[in-house]
Structure 1
């Protein structure tokens, strides 16, 4: 494994030197071999093994400093309170990828925390990041999971753990906010150049490289959130320090995948005001981007920054429309918005499971509605929608069967429901990781049938719908 130190080489103004502090009796319990092969990492190599688990310190590993708007309030200095950037490795595509260990111990930015992660939250992040990747959502990835016999105290003692994450980059909107509001103009310029060189080099030859880069950031963020909305995913903590400058979903905590359709759903029980509710995510994305644009007010005019932000809404809407049209199997229709509006009204009143509905719709036979009607109370209203839908579906050039097959490849059978995560966490805390691996298998190929794991596709029990997750999750 060849580790580079590009970010660390920016100097002490951007990070502090830190190393992994191994947990007591820690052990490697899961390793993503497919991702490791892509990154040319051989976990069986003794030197690599010692470096990744912290037995041998990495000389250039660091914890990053940044700021952030958290639930609307600005925190002028945050940083990696429990994370260590080990360095960058080059993938088979020749691009660089960050290796970042979460739960690695105290750092200069831990504030009053212990710098640790617990097995519960580490499993949730491992599963979520791999599930999102399989669903086609840009995301950090999980490379390795370590558990231990070390007690970490949250609401109660829990098993300490570490999660090794991979991403295109871990630079957040909050990095730019930190340097801008601290008045560190030289460092801000360095960070801009770093991002242009390492993440957006295609714009280096542009007449306006900064503006071109920022437009791409806006559009990537818009497409990411459009994907969240299409699959029914809620992040839960959309603070600017949790938003990636490379347009990836990062920092999985009190997230959720929607069960019963409810646009006002709030998955994070720490979000008392519903700031990050499902239906508010597109607006929060724009709010965060507005915070980001302020950091370039000395580089670009107000009109230029406003023009950049104007790319957000049309990009999000067009991508969302494209995704929802594919979920419905309607590739050319002028009635998409009307059909969706009518459908969502029905789904909400029926408390219909979001993912189950679209999977059933994918299997619907032409003009045979019982598969759907048997799931609802108001059969006539659903029949009215299905009749309108079938009229539009009949206009597609492909056959009904071919469209259904295509729909099955975009409407997952398996999603990461909270009760499923809860069950595998309970088993893992008791030393049994088999349920975790069984769930991981279906989540990494969520469109396949996996008949041997049919129970993992079932609707949640009532107790599973009311599970609470919070910022400690």
Structure 2
């Protein structure tokens, strides 16, 4: 494994040297071999095993410092309170990827915390990051999961664990906020140059490198949020320190995949005001970008920054429209805009399962809608909508069966339902990782039928719908 240390070269103002502190009797219980192959990491190498687990110290490993707006309030100094950046490795595409360990022990930014993670949260992040990746949503990914016999205290004692994550970058909006509000202009300029060089090198060849980089950040963020909305994913804690400068989904905590369609659904039971409710995510994305743009007020004129921000809504709407047209097999955006509000009204009134509906719509025969009608109470209303939908779908001129195949390729049969994660966690806490691996398999290939795992596509039982997830997860 060829580790590089580019972020570490920025110096002490950006991070603190921190070593992974292995857990008591820790074990490697899951390893992402396909991702490892892409990164040219050989887990069979004894040295690689020691480095990744923290048993062999990496002198240049570090924890990052940053700030952030958390639930609307500004925290001037945060940082990796339980994370260690081991270094960077190159993928087969030539790009650099961070290796970042969650739950690695206390750091200078732990704020009196223990710096640890519990098995529960590591399993949830492993499953969610791989699920989103399989649904074509930019995301950090899980490379390795370690459990242990070490007790970590939250509401109750739990099994300690570590999760090795991979991402294009772990630089957050909060990194820029930290240096801007600290008045550290030199360091802010260093960070800008670093991001241009490592994440947005194409912008360096333009007349306005910073301006073009920020436009791309805005557009990547818009596309990420559009994808969340299209698949029914809620992040749960959209603080600026949880937003990636590279447009990847990071920092999985109290996330959720929507089951019954509820536009104002809140998955995080600690979010009492519903700040990060599902329907509010697009607006929060823009709010976060506005916070980011303030950090460049000494580099660009106000009108330039406003123009950059104005790229967000058209990009998000266009990408969301494209995704939803594919989900519904439509060819005209005008038909989508006519049909979608009425459909969402029906789904909300019926509390219809979001994923199940679109999967059944993909299987719908021309002129036949009995399976969908069997799912709801107001059959007349849905029947009328389906007739309008069928006419709109036929406008594309493609064979019905061909459109159905394309819809099945974008409407998953399997999503990470909260109760499934809960069951997998309970089994793993007893040492049984088979439910976790079965669930991971269908989430990795969510569009396949997997008839042997049909039970994992079923709606949540009533007890499963009431499970609560908080930031401590």
TM-score (norm 2): 1.00
Q: Deviations over 1:185-242 (max 9, x none)?
A: 0000000000000000001011000000000000000000000000000000000000
Stretches of structure 1 that go unaligned for 5 or more consecutive residues are: none
Secondary structure, aligned partner of 2:143:
strand
Q: How far apart, CA to CA, are the structure 2 residues paired with 1:205 and 1:385?
A: 51
Please say if 1:471 is aligned against 2:455.
no
Alignment of 1:340-355 (within 5 A): 340-355=340-355
1:10-45 deviations in Å (ceiling 9; x for gaps): 000000000000000000000000000000000110
Q: State the match for 2:395 in structure 1.
A: 395
Q: 1:343-381 CA deviation, whole Å, 9 max, x = no partner? A: 000000000000000000000000111011000100000
Paired residues, number: 473
- Assess, with a 3 A threshold, how the Cα gap between structure 1 residues 63 and 333 changes in structure 2: closer, same or farther: closer
Say what the alpha-carbon RMSD is for the aligned residues. 0.5
Native 8 Å contact 1:169 1:244 kept in 2: yes
Moved over 6 A (4+): none
TM-superposed deviation, 1:396:
1.5
Aligned twin of 2:154: 154
> C-alpha distance in 2, partners of 1:435/1:251?
24
Residue in 1 aligned with 2:192?
192
Find out whether 1:229 has 2:229 as its counterpart. Answer: yes
| Residue equivalent to 2:12 | 12
Q: What is the CA–CA distance in structure 1 between the aligned matches of 2:434 and 2:147, rounded to whole Å?
A: 15
Contact 2:331 2:395 in 1 (8 A): no
1:172 Cα offset (Å): 0.1
Aligned to 2:427: 427
Question: What secondary structure, in the 3-state scheme, does the structure 2 residue paired with 1:131 have?
Answer: helix
What does residue range 73-92 of structure 1 map to in structure 2 within 5 Å? 73-92=73-92
Cα pair 1:333 1:392 within 8 Å, conserved: no
Q: TM-score, normalised on structure 1?
A: 1.00
| 1:279-322 deviation digits (Å, cap 9, x = unpaired) | 00000000000000000000000000000000000000000000
Partner deviation per Cα, 1:159-184 (whole Å, 9 max, x = no partner): 00000000000000000000000000
Unmatched 5+ stretches in structure 2 = none
Alignment-derived partner of residue 443 in structure 1 = 443
Q: CA deviation at 1:333?
A: 4.5
**Residues 374-409 of structure 1, C-alpha deviations (whole Å, 9 max, x = no match):** 001000000010010011011112100000000000
Within 2, Cα distance between the matches of 1:153 and 1:338?
52
Alpha carbons 2:321, 2:333 under 8 Å: kept: no
Q: Separation in 2 of the partners of 1:177 and 1:185?
A: 11
Report matched runs for 1:350-429 at 5 Å: 350-429=350-429
1:332 CA drift (Å) = 2.5
